[in-house]
Amino acid sequence: MIHINFSIRPYIKGSTGQVAIKVRWNQSRFEASFFTNVWAEADKWDQDRLKAKRGTTHYVRDMKFTYLEINEAIAEYREEIENIFDKCALKNTLPTVDELKTMVNNALGRNSAKEPATTEVVKKKSFKEMTDLGSFSVRG
């Protein structure tokens, strides 16, 4: 089973207090970040729950975002990343970072699909393969 680590990072922009919301997946030394195309105001962001505070409206860069729009964008990315890993697990594959980015962005309609993404095959070793030390002779 593949363990999926998520983090939602608010990136506060300088003195303006604008918060760019990114969803990030990481596994060991591999990482994929997705900008959600939503912004929040720092004082209306719940750092503990990693969501926009309930009932808030955010005015950033001449745009208006409700707390529902912000939280739904975050949820969409999380759900799609989980779906991709579920599909790959059924095929016993693991996507590369670039493939994950492409598949998530395509699924969410964030870019045009030039070619279908492929996945990297991860072959599970049998118990015999894991315990087999190879054929060698011990000389005494």
Q: How many residues does the chain have?
A: 140
> Is residue 122 within 8 Å of 94, Cβ to Cβ?
yes
**In the predicted model, what is the mean pLDDT of residues 31-36?**
84
Q: Give the confidence band of 106 by pLDDT, cuts at 50, 70, 90.
A: very high
At residue 18, the pLDDT reads 72
- Rounded-to-integer distance, Cα 38 and Cα 66, Å: 10
pLDDT tens column, 48-102: 888 899 999 999 888 999 999 999 998 898 889 888 888 888 888 888 888 889 9
Which structural domain range is residue 118 located in? Answer: 5-131
Q: Does some domain include residue 19?
A: yes
Q: Does some domain include residue 14?
A: yes
Strand partners, 59: 64
Q: Does some domain include residue 137?
A: no
Q: Does some domain include residue 52?
A: yes
Domain count, the chain: 1
